[in-house]
């Protein structure tokens, strides 16, 4: 088992910089998720950790050992690929045993470990089959089994659930986490799906355009996003954003946006509340409260999405900013109604930089 | 009405025999330069019907005669060497000359050459044989006998100080060795058409030849060009050659005269060269025309003889005095020359004789062994045709198969729904018909005809049905030991070895290059790809001939490379006679065919490699595989299903690669590098047209390849089934 320490990693493909000075630290035994939109560099970072690409500059350490220039075979890692990458000409058993055979492990040990992995993943009846005779989910498990058998210090997952259907995805997600806990391994997991990130991770690294925008535990990422990007990326449905200006009104700080005025929680945002400051206000649909007419901001509803246990009302705040509000399933909201909403919990971001204006936690 | 008349007139004109309208005499010949000038001068004296003299290229001469005369399109008379009379008579291309032959005026050997018993089949014109050239600048007298040439070694110096070889002649050519042989009382063919170059006299003759070479009295490995070169440049004091040598000495500042060939000390008998008599022959239609025979008499007349003599050709007439000098000397030599046997058997004697001589000169085997082998070879080619058997059993079998086929066919047709299905498929048949016809005509029909030919023996009038006799003969190695030279099994062994070696190199090099070319970081990949396709794109016979030239012992590029290596690296490399030993000749063939064939494998492998997913290789990398292990354990097994058909194709093509084997080594040395297809070719085209035998070879090759590929396919299918369970 090994901790991962990345310092100032840079990688460029041709003229295009893909990773710009990325640093991160993953404690031993934790499940780290690299999440971000397409092209943010998360897969490249994973491949650099694996040794499948070479960094232009920077260092990578596993458990204190500098592996930056080492070949994959010398890094004590195992990887689960998005497309599983099973050896098509070998049976499941031979796929599992491949890495051990290469290292000339004794036959008895190979058998034992293969047996152990197949027990863990329920691959028993599949051992003599060829990959082309397996379903997607089965192949995925074989891919994981192949990684487990090697008992590496570090597991790398490259979007392993992307090729599975939705139902299978949530099932396998749980399996992966359970496996990680059981093995006590260190795992680095790449995904573009923020639900996977939130549910699997001990620590999340949100990447955007080659830099780490925020690192932290899931609830921190969710509740205290450091940038507008992170705030908008995490959470489903996405956070609502609208531009506004800070003002003082009747002794209290308010933000005016689109002709609507909302009070600001001064405890959270104290330092940044000079009047006239241009801000972007972020409100999660789940943080919206319905209030009586006149007490809140009017929201004319154009579309209602009913999901059964809750509904989402789409409209435009003050007639200009698109806005989604979560309402109870039995609230009987329909198109054409006007809701009145308040934002007890809001996020403020500098309109230019996107940085959060929240007072840092001690 | 008018139209009908015109049509009738044209038809009449077309139907009239051409000759009846114009009645010229058609004369064919293969003369050039001086000889052509002589002929023109002679024809200028003719005062009869117009003569249409056509000059044909020498190489195609006989073939054109054989093609045209039976169709009635050939000449009335033509000029050819008497040695072809046997073949011409067999093919019915000639008729007896009747009164065209003046009695009593031709030399005895010339008459013997054209007569069979009392009937003359040609009119002799001129004698051609070899004699002894003497370079009078270097020597003044001829040694008393052939062995005396050895005493002259090292004693003659050319004006420039270079060493001079006493006697230049084509030492490994049976035509010249025959002259020595005659001094021991032997002849290449006896009068019963049996192989004559065997026995103690033959041994002594060839060993005398070898002795002359080893004592440096004569050059080794000499061909006509070398002899001309040596004598013409004053590096040889004597030469044994024919009038053609004189023609090439024209411009040189060399003084020579022509003498009779010396005697052989060992027997005291003179060397007697083989005599070729150039004569006029008549086609069957020409022989019937009196004016044609008159023209022949003119061509053989004394006046014509004198004209020819002016151009350097000795006459075959004994009543004309030749001008003093070369011509008279050649004419004198011709009086003691031995007419070349004109029987068809002679053509089968040259190859074995030449091979035996070469082997003995190289000291590869004992002389007796080599000659016995030559006789065996000769007998092999000349063996009598098998008896014709009745085709009844085969026809019966065919009939039964036909009946059974018809029965099955009616069953199929009677099955319910057949009519409807047929109508539904009609458009499909429309699309497929022309392809079926093309394949049928171009592939199936020749195949069937070839198989049918393999059931016959002999050709022309002697063709007969012999059932499976050809196959039996091949498979039992014609009664000899199974692995002698020329035996089917030995050639099969060589062919299999040839195929295995080639395919191994093809796949190895093709695979290696494909792996290199598939690296994404290689620049100029497109350029390399084009360069590496070129060997495959150039026609194979062009490549074969080019490589053959490169392997030439004296002038070849490979030899030059060896010299260069020798000089720069100081190795003690001898020039290699590539085609003198099996190993080097095989290597030369192999090099050529590998050069030809690797691009195909490379291209197929390149395609197969693109189907190997990158992430599987990355997974192997992460699993700990080195580059070599990735290649061996992941890449190769994944491309194997694609490579197998290509390897099969390559193996079949190599098995049948006629071009390279025939053109590069030509089967040398001694037929040992021949593969089955080239051996079959020789049976068909160099050993008296034994088409049936050759066709049987072809059928056997087909069956073998068919069987092996079916076996391979079945094994692959069984393996796939086993994997699936």
B22-126+276-318+326-334 topology per CATH: D-Maltodextrin-Binding Protein; domain 2 (3.40.190)
Residues contacting residue B318 through CB under 8 Å, at least 6 positions apart: B105, B106, B107, B108
**Predicted structure pTM score:** 0.73
Rounded to whole angstroms, the Cα distance separating B219 from A116 reads: 83
Within 8 A of B639 by CB-CB distance, chain A residues are: none
B660 touches B677 (CB < 8 A):
no
Task: Confirm if B277 and B289 have CB atoms less than 8 A apart.
Answer: no
Q: Do B622 and A102 touch (CB under 8 A)?
A: no
| CB proximity A342 to B under 8 Å | no
| Packing angle, helices B636-655 and B691-724, rounded to 10 | 170
**How far is Cα B103 from Cα B85, in angstroms, rounded to an integer?**
20
Burial class (CB in 10 A: 0-12, 13-18, 19+), B461: exposed
Contacts with B486 (C-beta within 8 Å, 6 or more apart), sequence order: B377, B380, B671, B679
The residues, ordered by sequence, that sit 6+ positions from A187 with a Cβ below 8 Å of its Cβ are A30, A31, A32, A154, A155, A156, A157, A180
- CATH number belonging to domain A241-350: 2.40.50.140
Given an 8 Å threshold on Cβ–Cβ distance, is A52 in contact with B621? Answer: yes
The residues of chain B scoring below 70 in pLDDT are 13-22, 460, 479-480, 520-522, 554, 723-725
Q: What is the bridge-based pairing of β-strands A31-35 and A203-208?
A: parallel
Is there a contact between B326 and B68 (Cβ–Cβ < 8 Å)? no
Question: Measuring CA to CA, which residue among B243, B240, B203 is closest to residue B222?
Answer: B240
Cα angle value B86/B88/B91 (rounded, 5°): 110
Are the C-beta atoms of residues B149 and B264 closer than 8 Å to each other? Answer: no
Chain A touched by B621 (CB under 8 Å): yes
Residue B401 has what pLDDT? 93
Residues 211-250 of A with CB under 8 A from B: none
Query: How distant is the Cα of A260 from the closest Cα of chain B, in angstroms?
Result: 54
Distance of CA B118 to the CA centre of its chain: 35
Cα angle B503, B506, B511; round to 5? 125
Question: Assign residue A245 a region: left if phi > 0, alpha if psi is -120 to 50, beta otherwise?
Answer: beta
- The DSSP annotation for B385-439 comes to PPPP--SHHHHHHHHHHHHHHHHHHHHHHHSTTHHHHHHHHHHHHHHHHHHHHHH
Question: Is A4-233 assigned to CATH 3.40.50.300?
Answer: yes
Conformation bin of residue B653: beta by default, left when phi > 0, alpha when psi is -120 to 50: alpha
CB B239 within 8 A of CB B309: no
Please say whether the beta carbons of A123 and B652 come within 8 A: no
- Cα(B120)–Cα(B113) distance, rounded to whole angstroms? 9
Dist. CA A63–CA A61, nearest whole Å: 6
- Distance separating alpha carbons of residues A1 and B198, to the nearest angstrom: 89
B704 contacts: CB under 8 Å, gap ≥ 6: none
What is the value of ipTM here, to two decimals?
A: 0.86
**Distance, in angstroms, between B412 CA and closest chain A CA?**
39
Residues of chain B found within 8 Å of residue A89, distances taken between Cβ atoms: 637-638
Q: Are B272 and B183 in contact (CB under 8 A)?
A: yes
Please, which residues 112-151 of chain B have a Cβ atom closer than 8 Å to chain A?
none
- The pair phi, psi for residue B270, each rounded to 5°, is -75, 155
Query: Where exactly does CATH 3.40.50.300 map onto chain A?
Result: 4-233
Partner residues linked to A4 by β-bridges: A26, A62
Task: List the domain boundaries for chain B.
Answer: 22-126+276-318+326-334, 131-272+345-382, 495-674
Residues A157 and A163 sit within 8 Å (Cβ to Cβ) = no
A25 touching chain B per CB within 8 A: no
In whole angstroms, what is the distance from residue B212 CA to residue B143 CA?
14
Cα gap B322→B312, rounded to integer Å: 10
Is-same-fold flag (B131-272+345-382; B495-674)? no
Residue B609 and residue B659 in contact, taking contact as beta carbons nearer than 8 Å: no
The string of DSSP letters for B83-148 reads GGHHHHHHTT--B--GGGS-TT-B-HHHHHHHEETTEE-SEEEEEE--EEEEETTT-SS--SBGGG
DSSP letter, residue B170: -
Q: Distance from CA of residue B178 to its chain's centroid? A: 22
> Does residue B722 belong to the interface with chain A, where contact is any CB pair within 8 Å?
no
- Of the candidates A51, A79, A130, the beta carbon closest to that of B619 is on A79
The total number of residues written for chain A in this structure: 362
CATH 3.50.4.10 corresponds to the domain B495-674: no
Residue labelled with tokens 């030995």: B490
Fold classified for B131-272+345-382: D-Maltodextrin-Binding Protein; domain 2 (3.40.190)
- Torsions phi, psi for A317 (to 5 deg): -70, 125
**pLDDT digit string (tens) for A93-117?**
999 999 999 988 899 999 999 999 9
d(CA B687, CA B719): 46
Q: Which helix (H) or strand (E) holds B515?
A: helix B488-517
DSSP assignment of B206-268: HHHHHHHHHTTSS-SS--HHHHHHHHHTT-EEEEEE-HHHHHHTTTS---EEEEPPPEETTTT
What pLDDT, on a 0 to 100 scale, did the predictor assign at position B19?
46
Question: Helix axis angle, B367-382 relative to B345-361, nearest 10°?
Answer: 160
Angle (CA) B635-B636-B637 rounded to 5° is 95
Q: Name the residue among A188, A202, A200, A216 with its Cα closest to residue A45.
A: A188
Instruction: Scan for tokens 């002794």, then name that residue.
Output: A251
Give me the residues of A, 62-121, that contact B with CB < 8 A: 71-73, 77-79, 81-83, 85-89, 98-99, 102-103
Q: How far apart are CA A168 and CA A176, in angstroms?
A: 12
Backbone φ and ψ of A26, nearest 5°: -120, 120
Q: Residue A216: which H helix or E strand, with range?
A: strand A211-216
Q: What is the pLDDT of residue A339?
A: 86
Taking Cα atoms as reference points, which of A270, A263, A235, A232 lies closest to residue A358? A270
User: Could you list the pLDDT tens digit for every one of the 362 residues in chain A?
Assistant: 589 999 999 999 989 999 999 999 999 999 999 999 988 889 999 999 999 999 999 999 998 899 999 999 899 999 999 999 999 999 999 999 999 999 888 999 999 999 999 888 888 899 999 999 999 889 999 999 999 998 898 999 999 998 888 888 888 899 899 889 988 889 999 999 888 999 999 999 999 999 999 999 999 999 899 999 999 999 888 999 888 888 877 666 777 766 667 777 766 776 667 778 888 888 899 988 888 887 778 888 999 998 889 999 999 887 678 899 999 888 888 888 888 888 888 888 888 888 888 766 54
Q: How far apart are CA A295 and CA A342, in angstroms?
A: 8
**Chain A residues in contact with B723 (beta carbon < 8 A):** 130
Q: Which residues of B1-20 are buried (b: 16+ CB within 10 A; e: fewer)?
A: eeeeeeeeeeeeeeeeeeee
Q: Which long-range contacts (CB under 8 A, 24 or more apart) does B31-39 make?
A: B31/B55, B31/B79, B33/B247, B34/B247, B34/B311, B34/B312, B34/B313, B35/B311, B35/B313, B37/B311, B38/B307, B38/B308, B38/B310, B38/B311, B38/B313, B39/B79
CA distance B313 to B128: 8
Give the pLDDT score at B416.
Answer: 85
Alpha carbon distance B149, B166 (integer Å): 6
Within an 8 Å CB–CB cutoff, is residue B632 touching chain A?
Answer: no
Q: Give the minimum alpha-carbon distance from B576 to chain A in angstroms, rounded to a whole number.
A: 48
- pLDDT at position A252: 67
A306/B contact by beta carbon, under 8 A: no
- Residue B560: the pLDDT is 83
Structure tokens at A152: 């590496």
The CA distance from B522 to B313, in Å, is 68
CB contact under 8 A, B618 and A85: yes
Closest-CA residue of A relative to B624 is: A73
Contacting residues for B578 by C-beta, under 8 A, at least 6 apart = B551, B553, B556, B558, B584, B585, B587, B588
Distance of CA A55 to the CA centre of its chain: 23
- DSSP summary character for residue A297: E
- Between CA A76 and CA A96, with CA B631 as vertex, the angle to 5 degrees is 45
């Amino acid at each position: 088992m090994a901790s991962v320490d990345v310092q100032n990693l840079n990688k460029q493909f041709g003229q295009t910089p893909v990773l710009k000075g990325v640093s991160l630290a993953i404690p031993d035994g934790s499940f780290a998720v690299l999440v971000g939109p397409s092209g943010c560099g998360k897969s490249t970072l994973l491949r650099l950790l694996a040794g499948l690409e070479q960094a232009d500059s920077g260092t990578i350490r596993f458990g204190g050992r500098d592996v930056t220039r080492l070949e994959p075979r010398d890094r004590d890692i195992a990887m689960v690929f998005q497309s599983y990458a099973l050896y098509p000409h070998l049976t499941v058993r031979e796929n599992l045993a491949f890495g051990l055979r290469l290292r000339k492990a004794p036959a008895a040990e190979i058998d034992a470990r293969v047996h152990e992995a197949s027990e863990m993943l329920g691959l028993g009846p599949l051992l003599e089959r060829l990959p082309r005779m397996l379903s997607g989910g089965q192949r995925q498990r074989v891919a994981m089994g192949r990684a487990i058998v090697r008992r590496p210090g570090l597991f790398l997952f490259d979007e392993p659930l992307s090729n599975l259907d939705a139902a299978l995805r949530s099932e396998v997600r749980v399996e992966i986490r359970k496996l990680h806990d059981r093995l006590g391994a260190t795992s680095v997991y790449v995904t573009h799906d923020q639900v996977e990130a939130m549910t699997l991770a001990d620590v999340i690294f949100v990447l955007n355009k080659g830099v780490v925008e925020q690192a932290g535990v899931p609830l921190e990422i969710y509740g205290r996003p450091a940038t507008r990007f992170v705030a908008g990326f995490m959470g489903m449905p996405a956070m609502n954003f609208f531009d506004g200006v800070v003002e003082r009104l009747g002794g209290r700080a308010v933000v005016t946006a689109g002709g609507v005025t909302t009070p600001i929680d001064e405890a959270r945002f104290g330092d940044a509340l000079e009047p006239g400051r241009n801000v972007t206000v972020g409100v999660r649909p789940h943080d919206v409260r319905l209030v009586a007419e006149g007490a809140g901001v009017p929201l004319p509803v154009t579309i209602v999405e009913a999901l059964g246990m809750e509904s989402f009302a789409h409209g435009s705040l003050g007639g200009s900013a698109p806005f989604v509000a979560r309402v109870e399933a039995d609230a009987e909201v329909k198109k054409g109604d006007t809701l009145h909403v308040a934002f007890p919990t809001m996020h403020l971001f500098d309109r230019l930089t996107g940085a959060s204006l929240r007072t840092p936690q001690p | 009405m008018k139209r009908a008349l015109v049509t009738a007139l044209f038809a009449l004109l077309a139907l009239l025999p051409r000759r009846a309208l114009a009645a010229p005499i058609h004369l064919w010949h293969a003369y050039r330069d001086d000889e052509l000038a002589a002929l023109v001068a002679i024809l200028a004296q003719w005062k009869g019907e117009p003569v249409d003299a056509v000059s044909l290229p020498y190489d195609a001469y006989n073939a054109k005669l054989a093609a045209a005369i039976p169709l009635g399109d050939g000449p009335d008379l033509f000029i050819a060497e008497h040695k072809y009379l046997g073949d011409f008579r067999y093919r019915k291309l000639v008729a007896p000359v009747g009164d065209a032959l003046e009695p009593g005026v031709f030399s005895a050997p010339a008459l013997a050459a054209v007569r069979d018993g009392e009937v003359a089949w040609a009119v002799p014109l001129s004698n051609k044989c070899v004699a002894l050239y003497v370079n009078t600048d270097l020597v003044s007298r001829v040694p008393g006998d052939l062995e005396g040439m050895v005493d002259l070694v090292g004693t003659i110096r050319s004006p420039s100080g270079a060493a001079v070889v006493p006697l230049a002649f084509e030492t490994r050519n049976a035509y010249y060795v025959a002259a020595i042989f005659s001094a021991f009382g032997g002849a290449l063919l006896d009068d019963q058409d049996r192989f004559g170059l065997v026995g103690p006299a033959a041994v002594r003759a060839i060993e005398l030849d070898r002795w002359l070479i080893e004592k440096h009295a004569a050059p080794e490995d000499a061909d006509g060009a070398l002899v001309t070169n040596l004598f013409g440049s004053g590096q040889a004091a004597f030469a044994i050659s024919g009038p053609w040598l004189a023609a090439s000495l024209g411009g040189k500042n060399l003084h020579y005269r022509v003498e009779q060939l010396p005697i052989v000390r060992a027997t005291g008998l003179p060397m007697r060269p083989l005599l070729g008599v150039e004569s006029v022959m008549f086609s069957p239609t020409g022989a019937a025309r009196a004016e044609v025979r008159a023209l022949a008499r003119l061509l053989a007349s004394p006046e014509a003889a004198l004209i020819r003599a002016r151009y350097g050709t000795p006459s075959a007439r004994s009543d004309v005095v030749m001008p003093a000098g070369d011509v008279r000397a050649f004419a004198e030599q011709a009086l003691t020359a031995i007419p070349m046997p004109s029987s068809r058997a002679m053509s089968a004697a040259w190859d074995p004789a030449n091979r035996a001589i070469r082997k003995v000169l190289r000291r590869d085997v004992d002389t007796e062994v080599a000659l016995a082998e030559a006789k065996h070879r000769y007998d092999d080619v000349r063996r009598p045709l098998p008896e014709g058997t009745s085709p009844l059993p085969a026809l019966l079998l065919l009939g039964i198969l036909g009946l059974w086929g018809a029965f099955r066919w009616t069953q199929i047709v009677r099955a319910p729904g057949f009519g409807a299905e047929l109508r539904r498929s009609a458009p499909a048949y429309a699309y497929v018909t022309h392809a079926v016809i093309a394949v049928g005509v171009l592939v199936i029909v020749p195949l069937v005809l070839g198989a049918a030919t393999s059931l016959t023996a002999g050709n022309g009038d002697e063709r007969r049905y012999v059932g499976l006799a050809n196959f039996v003969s091949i498979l039992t190695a014609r009664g000899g030991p199974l692995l002698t030279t020329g035996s089917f099994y030995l050639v099969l062994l060589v062919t299999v070895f040839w195929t295995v070696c080639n395919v191994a190199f093809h796949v190895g090099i093709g695979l290696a290059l494909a792996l290199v070319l598939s690296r994404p970081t290689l620049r100029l990949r497109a350029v390399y790809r084009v360069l590496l396709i070129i060997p495959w794109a150039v026609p194979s016979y062009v490549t074969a001939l080019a490589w053959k030239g490169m392997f030439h012992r004296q002038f070849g590029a490979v030899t030059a490379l060896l010299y260069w290596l020798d000089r720069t690296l100081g190795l003690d490399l001898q020039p290699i006679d590539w085609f003198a030993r099996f190993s080097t000749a095989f290597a030369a063939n192999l090099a050529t065919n590998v050069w030809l064939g690797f691009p195909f494998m490379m291209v197929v492998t390149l395609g197969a490699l693109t189907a190997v997913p990158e992430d599987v290789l990355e997974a192997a990398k992460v699993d700990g595989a080195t580059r070599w292990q990735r290649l061996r354990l992941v890449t190769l097994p994944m491309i194997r299903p694609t490579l197998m058909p290509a390897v099969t194709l390559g193996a079949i093509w190599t098995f049948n690669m006629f071009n390279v084997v025939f053109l590069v080594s030509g089967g040398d040395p001694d037929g040992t590098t021949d593969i089955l297809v080239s051996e079959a070719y020789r049976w068909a085209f160099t050993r008296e047209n034994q088409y049936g035998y050759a066709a049987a070879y072809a059928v056997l090759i087909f069956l073998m390849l068919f069987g092996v590929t079916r076996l391979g396919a079945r094994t692959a299918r069984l393996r796939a089934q086993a994997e699936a369970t």
